[in-house]
Amino acid sequence: MVAIFKEHHHSITVRGVLKRASLNNMMCSVFGREYRLDSLNNEVEQLRALVDEGYDLLGTLNWTDHLPWLSDFDPQKIRCRCSNLLPKVNRFVSRIIAEHRLPTGAVETRDFVDVLLSLQGPDKLTDADMIAVLWEMIFRGTDTVAVLIEWILARMALHPDVQSRVQDELNKVVGKSRDVDESDISSLVYLQAVVKEVLRLHPPGPLLSWARLAMTDTTIDGYHVPAGTTAMVNMWAIARDPDLWADPLEFIPERFVAKDGDMEFSVLGSDLRLAPFGSGRRTCPGKNLGLTTVTFWVATLLHEFEWVPCDDITVDLSEILGLSCEMANPLTVKLQPRRP
**pLDDT recorded at residue 270:** 87
DSSP string, 122-188: GGPPPHHHHHHHHHHHHHHHHHHHHHHHHHHHHHHHH-HHHHHHHHHHHHHHT-SSS---GGGGGG-
pLDDT digits over 41-61, tens only?
Answer: 788 888 889 999 998 888 888
Report yes or no: 189 and 195 within 8 Å, Cβ to Cβ: no
**pLDDT recorded at residue 33:** 78
Phi, psi of 308 (to 5 degrees): -125, 140
Number of folded domains that form the chain: 1
What is the rounded distance in angstroms from the CA atom of residue 10 to the CA atom of residue 335? 6
pLDDT digits over 199-215, tens only?
Answer: 999 998 887 656 788 89
Which amino acid belongs to residue 92? F
Whichever domain contains 89, its CATH number is 1.10.630.10
DSSP state of 231: E
Q: For the ranges 77-91, 100-114, 124-138, which has the lowest average pLDDT?
A: 100-114
What is the rounded distance in angstroms from the CA atom of residue 6 to the CA atom of residue 334? 10
Average pLDDT of the segment spanning 3-8? 82
Report yes or no: 200 and 319 within 8 Å, Cβ to Cβ: no
Between the alpha carbon of residue 87 and those of residues 57, 81, 82, the distances in Å are 15, 11, 9
**What residues contact residue 286 under an 8 Å CB cut-off, 6+ apart?**
137, 140, 141
Boundaries of domain holding 4: 1-337
Nearest Cα residue to 308 out of 4, 3, 5, 1: 5
Average pLDDT score, the chain: 89
Which amino acid belongs to residue 30? V
Q: What is the pTM of this model?
A: 0.89
Q: Is 209 left (phi over 0), alpha (psi -120 to 50) or beta?
A: left
Residue 284 marked as a ligand binder: yes
